[in-house]
Amino acid sequence: MSAIVVGGGIGGLATALSLARNGRPVRLLERAEEFAEIGAGLQFGPNASRALDALGVLDDILPLAVRPERAELRDALTGRLITTLDLGPAFDERYGYPYLVLHRHDLLETLVEHCRRHPSITLETRRSVTDVQLRPDGAGLTCADGTSYEASALIGADGLHSTLRRHVHDDEPVCSGYAAYRGTVPRELAGQSASSNDVVLWIGPGIHLMQYPVRRGELYNQVAVFRSRNFAQGRTGPGEWGGPEELDAAFATACPPVRDAVSRIGRSRHWAMFDRAPAPTWINGPLVLTGDAAHPMLQYLGQGACQALEDAVELGYRFGLHSGPDGVDLGRAYREFEAARLPRTARCQTSARPWGELWHTDDPLVLALRERVLGRRAPDDYRELDWLYAPAAAGSAAPALTVAGPAPAVTR
């Protein structure tokens, strides 16, 4: 059986590696001239660290990442500490794997290198898929340069604006009306807020700022997000909303450390925040969607790339489980993959939306309740995180995703 993965981001590369590690030859097609990630930082919960371990790349990532000791939630207007989350030994012991923060490029580069070294993986760039024909026995693909391919299995890992998704669903991404400015600065230029390895999240009405170190602590990653008044007023065209002037206005009433941090973020580019509603299926014959092509979500749980990695592990496992002398029972592999993954990713999608609303609320009653509830929780109270970070129940997912640990012994 021949398998083609369309999309050379983190999810696509991880999927190709997982399929190959489970005995399948695979070809990956990437539209760009080289493999590259847009953006800077990534937060990886222990569920993603567990998936990286299953893919055989965790040991290469740990020296490049930072293991924060805690996460802080602060009021962006007053600077007051709302609550903390202990990410130290108690956290590692509970979930078996560490919480990591890292640079997107470091992960992408590591995945590319593992894929290039694997004899069953072929990587091709400058392959923009323009036409797909789905048949009962496989799929045909045509690229913009005229190159054509045949595949028994087709995996769409081509992101939020997936061209393959239209072969499964006729829908469009939903814009939240929020814009994000992202960037890194050398640690020594990041100001007082960069003095620790903590993950710091500042939240306020219509705004938030996320900060943490990456690349062994040499760089400091910052993401400033705000609700656009222009977008809310109907000015939704290209260049009509999300510009630097709106960024500055949104954070004008923030406390000095937040305003200082936002002033250090580059203004050359911003990103609109999109998601989609959970889909009823990701499958159409020989085609299956994964990652953001299947279940794009808002960033408030920090799970976009994490869930794509879990997808990769699960899909590779199902291919290996249902392989035989005559190839893969593709229908069964796809159905079991979807049954294992769709409910979990749908929960992430639907949980991220209200969590973002809680961060950005200006409702006095909700603010009072938020301060009261979060202010009383203990730093090592992990109960609300178990559904996301704990290993899957035995038999409900790929065995590698049900493993509790132990956590790799690495100096923080």
- Write out pLDDT tens, residues 350-360: 999 999 999 99
Q: What is the pLDDT of residues 119-144, one digit of tens each?
A: 999 999 999 999 999 999 999 999 99
Please give the angle made by the CA atoms of 73, 79 and 85, to the nearest 5 degrees: 20
Parallel, antiparallel or unpaired: strands 81-86 and 70-75: antiparallel
Q: Where are the beta strands (DSSP E) in 128-206?
A: 129-135, 138-143, 148-151, 153-156, 174-186, 199-204
SS3 142: strand
149 is catalytic: no
Q: What is the mean pLDDT of residues 19-36?
A: 96
Burial class (CB in 10 A: 0-12, 13-18, 19+), 89: exposed
Q: What is the mean pLDDT of residues 143-158?
A: 97
Of the candidate ranges 13-17, 146-150, 207-211, 405-409, the one whose mean pLDDT is the lowest: 405-409
Measured distance CA(75)–CA(77) in Å, rounded: 6
Q: Of residues 212, 220, 317, 334, which has the active-site annotation?
A: 212
**pLDDT band with cut points at 50, 70 and 90 for residue 410:** very low
- In whole angstroms, how far apart are CA 140 and each of 54, 99, 106, 289? 31, 41, 33, 16
SS3 363: coil
The predicted pLDDT at position 196 comes to 83
pLDDT over threshold 90, residue 76: yes
Parallel, antiparallel or unpaired: strands 219-227 and 174-186: antiparallel
Is residue 75 within 8 A of residue 205, CB to CB? The reply is no
